[in-house]
A and B are shown apart, each in its own frame.
Chain A
Amino acid sequence: MTITPSIKRDYLSKLAEQGKRADGRTFNEFRKIEIETGLFSKAEGSAQVKIGNTQVVAGIKILIGTPYPDTPESGVMTTAAELIPMASPDFEAGPPREKAIELARVVDRGIRESKIIEVDKLCLEPGEAIWMVFIDIHIIDFDGNLFDASSLAALAALHNAVIPIERSRSDLEKLQEKFPSVKKYLEEHPTDYPLPLKEPPISCTTVKYNNALMIDPALDEEEIAEARLTVATDENGDIRAMQKGLNGSFTVEEIKKVIKASIDNGTKIREELYKSVGK
């Protein structure tokens, strides 16, 4: 366990009283964001996102599978996150613990509930064959704010992803002998094509300590945070998802301030995302 020395807590709190942060940012300023896509040839889509010193890699695998009985005409997506021991001296090897599971579930919800992936377009033969989308997130360098970095990496990787017709051709050809709809599908989609996606909401996380709000917390700030609020906003500036964490509280005014800052930063981050994927 890392113990932020109380001296650091005092230092950050004193700075906060003057409206300052240890790295010189203002309260509603993100660290530098870098997005790179298409790094890995084996993945159908991939991205590396840096927010300050935090680094996250996401990879998408798209494979043929069978649908769930209750949704026979829709594709399937799953999200997994690994807090591998590479990223921090505190992360241990082994099956995912609470923290990794929470992270994966929050990112999964953000993508699933906002319906970015058009799962109804991922059906090959109702009840028989669909495309399965696997999002795997690797945290490789941990300096705070994993929620935003992981969501952004997953989004960037999804924008980079293609439906792998070429790689799956032999399986598809076997399927088309059995199902005429797959034959039609292959005629309509003779080669790899981009994963069908809708507009992505962007998530922004803010923490509160010593009655000050700080967006995009670095690790030191995260460790002394009393309350945390993640807000996902869309292109129209509407709110698409929220999650409050930790045992502190926010006033109504603070919530409004956080939403405003999340919309402003969301717009900038969305531009970065589109620029990186050439959209």
Chain B
Amino acid sequence: MESDIKLIDDNGKRLDGRTPDELRKIKIEAGVLHRAEGSCYLEWGGNKVMVAVYGPREALPRHTQNPLRAIVNARYNMAAFSVDDRKRPGPDRRSREISKVISEALEKVILVDKFPRAAIDVNIEVLNAEAGTRCAGLTAAGVALADAGIPLKDIPVACAAGKVDGHVVLDLGKEEDNFGDADLPIAISPRTNEILLLQMDGHLTVEEFDKALEMAINGCHIASGIQKKAIMDKYQNATEVK
């Protein structure tokens, strides 16, 4: 889409005043729900996301069971009131695709071999959407999985980079997402920098891609620090069992 809006001003500042390699403000809280085995509430800029984890429990219906490992069902869902025009409730093609790629990303870090025939359900509810909900959802899911005590190789984390007005920038905001040139959301395992999820749309040269990827990985590590702090805040004062 063409636009007359200038997304980056002469001082290199973006519409919301951020520098090119600056993330939006992130706030994470672990263990906010009573019923779920693990949960997380996350705010990332204007995005507000709640995640609940159930399991491992018997996978139903039975034919979905895998005798060798657990299956991971992430369910990404947008609330009807989370966008400008009311979204019809229920899954659409976009949310099904996002659910699939997030499930696959999480499967890589969960020790699924430990729970044959089981299902691990990760419910991601987007309550307010403002560009980058899949990264926000996956990052919250990582914290909720840890809160649920599910054995993980690492806490997965996601962040996007992209290109607006010819500049490679980190973590696209709303206008940048609508009017920008490219968007590159990724998820990584921060301990090893392995890529768990990668999507891209738009137009990048190989050099720009390299720069965007490096920037997104850096963004992931910043978000990872906030994830770990949220988990520490929840558990470091837990009563010691003697």
Contact = CB atoms under 8 A, between A and B. Distances in A.
Contact of B125 (A43, A88, A138): A138
A140 B50 CA distance: 9
B128 A43 contact: yes
A41 B128 contact: yes
A210 interface: no
A46 interface: yes
Nearest to A142: B35
A235 B77 CA distance: 38
B80 interface: yes
B65 to A, nearest CB: 17
A84 B82 contact: no
A80 interface: yes
A86 B84 contact: no
A143 interface: yes
Interface in B86-143: 86, 89-91, 121, 123, 125, 127-130
Contact of B82 (A59, A80, A89, A96): A59
Contact of B35 (A43, A53, A57): A53
B48 interface: yes
B33 A43 contact: no
Task: Report whether over half of chain B's contact residues are helix, strand or loop; otherwise say mixed.
Answer: loop
Interface string A112-153: 000000000000000000000010101011110000000000
Contact of A57 (B57, B86, B89, B127): B127
B75 interface: yes
Given A138-B125, A143-B34, A40 B52 contact: no
Nearest to B129: A42
A82 interface: yes
A86 B36 contact: yes
Would you list the 6 A-B pairs with minimal beta carbon distance, nearest first?
A59-B81, A53-B34, A43-B81, A86-B52, A61-B86, A136-B80
13 contacts: A40-B128, A42-B84, A46-B81, A55-B34, A60-B81, A80-B89, A86-B51, A86-B52, A87-B35, A134-B80, A140-B125, A143-B34, A143-B35
